[in-house]
Chains A and B, each alone.
Chain A
């Protein structure tokens, strides 16, 4: 069963990897986004993610539906963590399982790229000198086309 979510607790990578597997699975593609210790040569001590929860959950659900439309038969879980994260922690995870690796890779890649483009989540970097800044990454495009069969 495919699902998505915005979570506050640490992401259990092994549990989510197992969740998408079943006897028909021949390939599991996973993506982990982790907190890096630097940004533009500044030392990062931690990240703070905030979100517009209801809209973020809706966008994540839409992205999972679209990934399934692109890779029929894929089972996919996509979760993003919010709150304060330390260097090295997992902030986002995608796991996509399929009988074959092609659709598993395709669904996984699609989901993470769309999450970065569209899901209303914001990140504030905290630096070693005690300062912090919001990271401006991607301006969502309200006119962007979506896969036509994604709402089936």
Chain B
């Protein structure tokens, strides 16, 4: 996470499986208002590709996270496609 100007930060997120194929990369960086939240990152990720759903699932530090969760420097943020274990 890196500040871009007085009011925004860049957040880098890990991307997996079908979403990584859609974005052509296993990481993506989005710019969101400071302080970053799961809600703002979720919306910014969705806007990266029409192949992503409007509200992709987000995990912070390896736990599923709701929109109100704040994202701090050093947090690991990931976008989780629908799971298909088993």
Interfacial residues, chain A to chain B (CB-CB below 8 A): 33, 49-50, 52, 54-55, 58, 80, 91-92, 112, 115-124, 134-143
Q: Would you call the interface of chain B mostly helix, strand, loop, or mixed?
A: mixed
CB-defined contacts of A54 to chain B, threshold 8 Å = 62
CB distance from A122 to the nearest CB of B (A): 4
Complex CA gap A49/B80 in Å reads 14
Are B78 and A136 in contact (CB-based, < 8 A)?
Answer: no
B1-18 interface bits toward A, Cβ cutoff 8 Å, 1 = contact, 0 = none: 000000000000010111
How large, as a class, is the contact surface on chain B?
20 to 34
CB distance from B43 to the nearest CB of A (A): 15
What 4 A-B pairs have minimum CB-CB distances, sorted nearest first? A122-B17, A121-B85, A137-B84, A55-B62
Complex CA gap A122/B85 in Å reads 6
B45-86 interface bits toward A, Cβ cutoff 8 Å, 1 = contact, 0 = none: 000000000000111001111100000000000101111111
Are B85 and A142 in contact (CB-based, < 8 A)?
Answer: no
Complex CA gap A112/B64 in Å reads 19
Are A52 and B21 in contact (CB-based, < 8 A)?
Answer: no
| Also in contact, A143 and B81, with CB within 8 A (given A50-B16, A116-B86) | no
Most buried by B among A54, A122, A143: A122
| Also in contact, A92 and B85, with CB within 8 A (given A52-B14, A55-B78, A142-B57) | yes
Interfacial residues, chain B to chain A (CB-CB below 8 A): 14, 16-18, 21, 57-59, 62-66, 78, 80-86
Are A143 and B66 in contact (CB-based, < 8 A)?
Answer: yes
Complex CA gap A139/B54 in Å reads 13
| Also in contact, A115 and B59, with CB within 8 A (given A122-B81, A142-B66) | no
| Also in contact, A118 and B86, with CB within 8 A (given A52-B16, A58-B62) | no
CB-defined contacts of A58 to chain B, threshold 8 Å = 62-63
| Also in contact, A138 and B83, with CB within 8 A (given A54-B62, A55-B78, A143-B66) | yes
CB-defined contacts of A119 to chain B, threshold 8 Å = 83, 85
CB distance from B50 to the nearest CB of A (A): 16
CB distance from B53 to the nearest CB of A (A): 8
